[in-house]
Amino acid sequence: MQMHQFVCLILVLLMFGCSSSPHDQSTRVDESNYLLVQLGPKDEGKGLENEPYRFWGDSTPENLTDIKGGEIGEENIDLFRNSPDTPKVIGDRFNVLVLSGGGPRGAYGAGVLNGLRDQNKLPEFSLITGVSAGALIAPFVYVGGDKYDELKDVMLGSMTT
């Protein structure tokens, strides 16, 4: 019985130790002090001391250019719009494919990609990206063809047999 009590005591102490915080309310980040927060020591050589690490979605951070504000000029906006790297709107839609790694060996992302290929819906996307194993699978959308079968073999391996 003493061993059981000792284990319970250790678990309770760990729980309290892991749930306590040395930060009081004055050091927490909110909209009024987010520029003052430092994530670590300043790197004087790279100029990161003036870059905000947090910003709010309805305002432009100081380190980014406000395109809507007209600061960069119409010619630069046209250059951006006409760049081959800029995602394009196809018809009246801006379709984005985000592949999740999900499941063992990226089975979800590989399955989604193969299903979309079987339905001939892959060329309809403006932007394709992925998370985790999905990031490894996303380039197969551009490669296409017989590479999808290789994707099945690599990502799913013996799971397909």
Span 43-89, pLDDT tens digits: 555 544 455 556 667 766 665 655 565 556 666 677 777 777 777 77
Residue 87 forms part of a structural domain: no
Residue 100 included in any domain = yes
The domain tally of the chain equals: 1
pLDDT band at 10 (very low <50, low <70, confident <90, very high): very high
Q: Say if 64 falls within a structural domain.
A: no
Q: Does residue 43 lie in a domain region?
A: no
Domain that holds residue 123: 96-160
Q: Is residue 10 situated within a structural domain? A: no
Task: Tell me whether residue 101 is in a domain.
Answer: yes
Asked if residue 20 belongs to a domain, the reply is no
How many Å separate Cα 58 from the centre of its chain? 20
Q: What's this model's pTM, rounded to 2 decimal places? A: 0.45
The secondary structure of 25-75, three-state, reads: HHHCCCCCCHHHCCCCCCCCCCCHHHCCCCCCCCCCCCCCCCCCCCCCCHH
